[in-house]
Each structure stands twice: as C-alpha cells, then as structure tokens.
Amino acid sequence: MKTMIVREYNTVMLPDSYLLDLNTHQIKGCCGCWTCWWKTPGRCIHHDLDCFYHHYITAEKVTFYLTVSQGFISANLKTLFDRMIPLFLPYTNYGSGESMHDPRYERYPDIEIYYQDTFFNTAEKQIFEDYLQRTFYQFHSKTIHLTGETPGVRS
Amino acid sequence: MKTLMLNGSPRADHGNTQLFIDHFQSGLTTPLPVRYLLRENPTTLALAMKEYDTILLVMPLYIHAMPGLVMKLFEELKPQSSHHQKIGFIVQAGFIESATARYLENYLSALAHRLNYTYLGTVIKGDAAACSILPHFFFGRLFKQLKALGVAYEKTGSFDPLLVKKLGNPVYLSKFQVRLLESRLVSRLNQVGWNWILKRNGCFENRYDRPFL
Ligand SMILES: Cc1cc2nc3c(=O)[nH]c(=O)nc-3n(C[C@H](O)[C@H](O)[C@H](O)COP(=O)(O)O)c2cc1C
C-alpha cells in the first residue's frame, strides 16, 4: 500500500513512504492569485510542494502526526492546507446540501491523524477535531480517523 | 477608543478584504489605522497590537478557517493580564452559506477567551469572492451594509446584531436553493464565469488537467 507521512512530532517512518517533515519544511504561503485555477490548472506558482502533491494524490493513506498550536492546527500546517486548493476544481456542487468543490482527481487518500492532546478543555479539542474532519471531508477523503495522544505516550 | 484594523488577506490591499475594510471605513467620521499581515513581522505586529483598546481583524476564509498568514500572527499572541482589550472579526468567503465559516467562528471565540480579550463577535459574509472582479453595482447592497456596520461601530464600539444577521444570510442553503443551484441551467450559469476566465487565459482545454498523477 502506498502511504505518506506528514509530521510535526514523532520520528516514525515507514519504508517506501514519502515523508513531509513540517519541522524542517516551512511551506510557502498561498498568495491568493488563483493561477492554479485560472492559468495553469492544477499547478501552483510555487513549486516547493510538487513532490508532496504527487505523493498525496497517489497514496492510499496519509498519516499525520500533529501538534496543537494556540488551540488549533499550526500555521505551517494551515499553510499546507491552503496550498492544497490546486488538487480540486473551481467548479462547485451542492449535491450534499452545501457548497463543495468538485474533485480534480479520481480518488483521494484515506486520512489517519494522530495529534498531541495538549488541550486545556474539551471545547477546544472539539473545535480542532471538527475542523480536521470538515477539511478532509471537503477534500473528498472517504475515511478520516483522529486519535489524540498524550504527549510522550503511544497507545 | 483606540481601534486598529488588520487586513489578513494574502492579497493585502488588492483583494476583497480591502473592499470590506474600505466600505466599513466609509461609515466612520475618522478613519482607523489599517495594518497588513502580509507586510508585517508577526512578532512585531503582536507587540504593536497591545497599544490598542480594540482589534478588528478582517480576513478571507481559507480552507474553512483563517489563512496560514493569520495563524502565524495568532501563534505570536500572548494572553492579556486583564479583560480590557477587545477583539472582533469580519470574515468574507466564496461559498454562499455562512455556515461554512462556523468552524472558524467557533475557534475565534475560543481564541478570544484563551487570550483574555473581550470578544465582539464575528461578522460573516459569504458569496463575496467576486467583489473585486465584477462591477461594483453588483455589490451595492453589501457595501451599504458594511458602511452601516461602520457607522454603528463608531457609535457603540460593537457590531450591530441586526446587520450581522443580515450579512450572515443565508446561514444554510434551503432545499429549494440546493435544487435550483443543482439544476442544469443554474449550474451552467455558475460555470460561465470560470470558463470565461479560463478561455481568456488560453487554458480552457486544460481545465481538468491532473498534473500530479
Ligand atoms: C486558498 C484558498 C482557500 C479558500 N477557501 C475557501 C473556503 O474554504 N470557503 C470559502 O467559502 N471560500 C474560500 N476561498 C475563497 C475566498 O475566501 C474568497 O475568494 C475571498 O473573497 C478572498 O478574499 P481576498 O481577495 O481578500 O483574499 C478560498 C480562497 C483561496 C485562495
């Protein structure tokens, strides 16, 4: 099975898995220019994520190891999400009862998320989990699993 | 009352966020200072924010939340020692229904609480992606509402709840709206804008490209 790991903690690595280490890789920000939809469909003007795009779209499963930052996902991960817009089409459908962009590719990977559960309260944790569920649902992933881990303890 | 407006768009003063700020400001007798996250060091800006009683952060919705640029600023903010500072947000988005921003709204309210700011609320306006593309008369009503929001803010130091409600409509798409939007005619019409731009840029034939397979 082709897999990919995106990590902010943990040193886990699988053979033949592509790794995006967000501790060493600062993602260039989306500049909102729409080149990826209007001028070069599917391609961003920045090229730092070209390898990531290929591995993400061809992986069956992508595993994330995330830290919590100011009660939310980190700015670097948020920037990665912003830069994933070229993987979808500009056209919108409403079949699910809400707005949703059409897929550009035939299939999208299953998502497994582990995060360091450093939340002060359950309300903040709910916001974090709801947001990630929402995002990958709208990114057309069929399976999304989230697991909070106490820092330093792997279940 | 000393208020600072922040523009959280990666398009800074060239995008829809700037139009929202301009029309809000048109309702004020004294314009408020505006700073652009794109052009600032987040650490320095976080320090500068302490000198104001109130922060109004205006931003586009990016992947159901704030742009990465805005999260960079949030990471630099430290909890206030007292509740004397206030913070409010104006979020504008491409999708029609404002419920699309409720994940962000929930987070912003929790963030204000976490940082000990008094939370003024979040104004959400959907269907705003074309504000800076289409002629302004298409958005006349919106711009009037933003001006009125500014007028009320100057008077009360808060967002007028009636205007917040109006701007937030529709919260969800009704079954009728969904059926209409999904109908062949309306979905064709919705594609016209995109297709026109794609054709003008000479890449209409490539619109379904899958470059990363
Ligand atoms: C990377 C990116 C992600 C976006 N994500 C969303 C979204 O999740 N929901 C939405 O309604 N609009 C989304 N939009 C549309 C913007 O919110 C909208 O175009 C906005 O008006 C842009 O404001 P600006 O011109 O000030 O940058 C996104 C736009 C971009 C460039």
- Based on the domain organization, do B49 and B143 belong to the same domain? yes
User: For B86-140, what is each residue's pLDDT tens digit?
Assistant: 999 999 999 999 999 999 999 999 999 999 999 999 999 999 999 988 888 889 9
Distance of CA B140 to the CA centre of its chain: 17
User: For B2-23, what is each residue's pLDDT tens digit?
Assistant: 999 999 999 999 999 999 999 9
Quick check: helix, strand or coil at residue A69?
Answer: strand
Place A153 in a pLDDT band, splitting at 50, 70 and 90. Answer: low
Closest CA to A36 of A85, A77, A99, A108: A85
Q: Is residue B212 part of a domain?
A: no
Place A154 in a pLDDT band, splitting at 50, 70 and 90. Answer: low
Whether the per-residue pLDDT at B81 is higher than 80: the answer is yes
- Based on the domain organization, do B22 and B73 belong to the same domain? yes
**Most informative mutation of B62, B66, B104, B131 for ligand 1 (most atoms within 8 A of CB):** B62
Distance CA A29, CA A36 (A): 14
Measured over the CA atoms of residue B173, residue B179, residue B184 and residue B185, the dihedral's sign is negative
- Based on the domain organization, do B151 and B197 belong to the same domain? no
H runs (alpha helix) in B51-139: 68-76, 102-114
- Based on the domain organization, do B33 and B132 belong to the same domain? yes
- Based on the domain organization, do B162 and B187 belong to the same domain? no
Whether the per-residue pLDDT at A32 is higher than 70: the answer is yes
**Beta strands at A88-93 and A100-103: parallel, antiparallel or unpaired:** antiparallel
Distance CA A135, CA A132 (A): 5
- Based on the domain organization, do B183 and B81 belong to the same domain? no
pLDDT at B152: 98
- Based on the domain organization, do B147 and B179 belong to the same domain? no
* Chain A residues closer than 8 Å to B67 by CB: 29-30, 32, 78, 82
Which range in A78-87, A115-124, B185-194 is most confidently predicted, on average pLDDT?
Answer: A78-87
Q: What is the mean pLDDT of residues B32-41?
A: 98
Give the ipTM of the model, two decimals please: 0.96
pLDDT at B164: 98
User: For A86-142, what is each residue's pLDDT tens digit?
Assistant: 999 999 999 999 999 999 999 999 999 999 999 989 999 999 999 999 999 999 999
Check if the beta carbon of residue B6 is closer than 8 Å to that of residue B35: yes
- Based on the domain organization, do B178 and B168 belong to the same domain? no
- Based on the domain organization, do B163 and B178 belong to the same domain? no
Q: How many domains does chain B have?
A: 2
Q: What is the mean pLDDT of residues A38-56?
A: 97
How many CB atoms lie under 10 A from the CB of residue B179? 12
61-80 in chain A: CB under 8 A from chain B: 69-76, 78-80
Place A152 in a pLDDT band, splitting at 50, 70 and 90. Answer: low
43-62 in chain A: CB under 8 A from chain B: 43, 50, 53-54, 56-58
Q: Which residues contact B125 (CB under 8 A, 6 or more apart)?
A: B20, B90, B91, B92, B93, B98, B142, B167, B168
- Based on the domain organization, do B102 and B22 belong to the same domain? yes
Quick check: helix, strand or coil at residue A42?
Answer: coil
Whether the per-residue pLDDT at B146 is higher than 90: the answer is yes
Tokens 């992606």, residue located: B129
Q: Which residues contact B153 (CB under 8 A, 6 or more apart)?
A: B24, B27, B28, B56, B159, B160
Place A13 in a pLDDT band, splitting at 50, 70 and 90. Answer: confident
Q: Is residue B213 part of a domain?
A: no
Quick check: helix, strand or coil at residue A20?
Answer: strand
CATH number at residue B14: 3.40.50.360
Q: Is the pTM of this model over 0.90?
A: yes
* Chain A residues closer than 8 Å to B106 by CB: 127, 130
Q: Determine the structural domain holding residue B191 and report its residue range.
A: 174-207
- Based on the domain organization, do B41 and B131 belong to the same domain? yes
- Based on the domain organization, do B158 and B180 belong to the same domain? no
Residue A65's DSSP bridge partners are A7, A114
Whether the per-residue pLDDT at A155 is higher than 70: the answer is no
